[in-house]
Structure 1
Amino acid sequence: MSAVARVAILGAESTGKSTLSEALAMYYDTVWVPEYLREFVDTQGRVPREEDQYVIALEQRVREEAAVSQATRFLFCDTTPLMTAVYSLQYWGRIDAQLAALAASHDYAFTLVSAPDLPWEPDGLMRDSDAVRQSVHRMLVDTLEKRDIPFILVRGGLESRLRQAEDVLGPRAI
């Protein structure tokens, strides 16, 4: 068994997942896995299509597996295949069978969900609206509850979120 605990950082668009993931990695002196979707959008110059969803989620997981050997104590994962599955349901009303199988393997020691309580900010191709953000958040929470996946909802600004995460993860090593 790995000594590294994987921490899923989930949430809808514009909820501070990347900022929180990076800050937690710095705080705990470890690494984090950025969201591959951002790179996909930047390199492809478009939002993903339904047929891209499994490939995006799989690449996210591959990058996570590669990063675990560089991590100490925790590996912070800025999204997971489960989040990709939630977005598939939001945009296409269904989840591809391969993506569903990948998302079913939500094997993280901790799951933190970023509340949609930060100001919504447009970000080019990657952001829709605050209404979509709220809808995705509800879908995510419903999905986690239906799958009996325990999670901590982190709220407020970055410092508040860091304190809430530390309450769950424990203090950093001295």
Structure 2
Amino acid sequence: MTLCVALLGGESTGKSSMAAALQQQLQDLHGLRAIAVPEHLRAWCEAQGRAPHDHEQAAIAAEQSRRIAAALQTPGVDVVIADTTALMVAAYSALYFHDHSLLPTALAQQRTVDLTLLMGLDLQWTPDGLFRDSPAVRDATDALLRHELQTAGVPFQTVYGHGEVRVQQALRAVGSSLGRTLVPQDPALANGLRPWSCENCSDPACEHRLFTGLLVRAT
């Protein structure tokens, strides 16, 4: 059975770097065959030299899903790492075009993913000179993703940390899903990776509370 790992997060949260690092370490250090599926939206924007229009979003989301499905059918693959799913395209459609029509299908597909990792906002936002908008857009995207995942009851885990620490957090989650230890448990990092559970959260400074207002303003 191939494990499907999906990386979600706003711009400049390290999704592509994480996908590459996970693939390398799973293969080189743990002997697993891993495939990373790149973000189709990013490739589309680079090829077209622009961001997509509203009527182009559905096809881009469908192509991302098709590529993930194709990777999962590759014989002998242990782990497929999706550098975003259709849910990211749906989130951008909601933020930029106030079009929520892609969300139900995207969330239904997200439920079929074995492990959803949401990249935390602790990395500094950096422009890419191409399509990244602003830290505010990143924050609003994060808030929307959290809201939609939680409302739909799709489980996810948030990954924090810088450099190798961030990768180790993700590897620990992947190992748990595989039923094997990829990273020894470090008590000092135990709280860095956690399911989002707002009903049990009493932290007034938590990310969900901070960014709920951003979501409301963005929609």
- What TM-score results when the alignment is normalised by the length of structure 2? 0.73
TM-superposed CA distance for 1:66, in Å, is 2.0
Quick check: 2:107–2:152 contact (8 Å CA) kept in 1?
no
Query: Which residue of structure 1 lines up, in the alignment, with residue 31 of structure 2?
Result: none
Does structure 2 conserve the Cα–Cα contact (< 8 Å) formed by 1:113 and 1:154?
yes
Q: Is the 8 A contact 2:3 2:80 kept in 1?
A: yes
Counterpart position of 2:105 = 101
Could you tell me which residue of structure 1 aligns to residue 63 of structure 2? Answer: 59
Aligned-residue CA RMSD in angstroms?
1.6
Q: Note the alpha carbon deviations across 1:4-23, whole angstroms, 9 max, x for none.
A: 01001000001000000111
1:103-126 CA deviation, whole Å, 9 max, x = no partner? Answer: 422110000000121111111332
Q: Indicate yes or no: 2:121 matched with 1:116.
A: yes
8 A contact 1:34–1:78 mirrored in 2 = yes
After TM superposition, the structure 1 = structure 2 runs for residues 1-174 of structure 1, keeping only pairs within 5 Å, are 3-29=1-27, 30-68=34-72, 69=74, 72-96=77-101, 100-106=104-110, 107-170=112-175, 171-172=181-182
How far off is 1:102 after superposition?
Answer: 4.2
User: In the TM superposition, what is the alpha-carbon distance from 1:62 to its structure 2 partner?
Assistant: 1.4
TM-score, with length taken from structure 1: 0.90
Give the match's secondary structure for 1:55.
Answer: helix
Comparing 116-125 with 100-109, which one deviates more in the overlay? 100-109
- Give the letter for the 1:58 counterpart: A
Q: Distance in 1 between matches of 2:152 and 2:61?
A: 19
DSSP-derived class of the 1:96 partner: coil
Distance 1:49 1:125, change over 3 A: farther
Note the C-alpha offset of 1:61. Answer: 1.2
Shift of 1:166: 2.1
When structure 1 is superposed on structure 2, of 113-122 and 163-172 the one drifting more is 163-172
In structure 2, the residue corresponding to 1:28 is in which secondary structure? helix
Contact preservation (8 Å) 2:159, 2:169: yes
Distance 1:58 1:130 in 2: 27
Contact 1:58 1:102 in 2 (8 A): no
Alpha-carbon spacing, 1:21–1:70, altered in 2? closer, same or farther (3 Å): farther
Deviation at 1:57, TM superposition (A): 0.8
> Does the residue aligned with 1:124 lie in a helix, a strand or coil?
coil
CA distance in 1, matches of 2:76, 2:90: 26
What residue ranges of structure 2 are gaps of 5+ in the alignment? 28-33, 176-180, 183-219
Q: Deviations over 1:116-153 (max 9, x none)?
A: 21111111332000011011111111111111111110
1:71: how far off?
A: 6.1
Q: Structure 1's 127 and 21: CA in aligned 2 closer, same or farther, altered over 3 A?
A: same
Any stretches of 5+ residues in structure 1 without a counterpart? none
Which fold has the larger relative contact order, with Cα–Cα distance below 8 Å and residues 6 or more apart in sequence?
Answer: 1
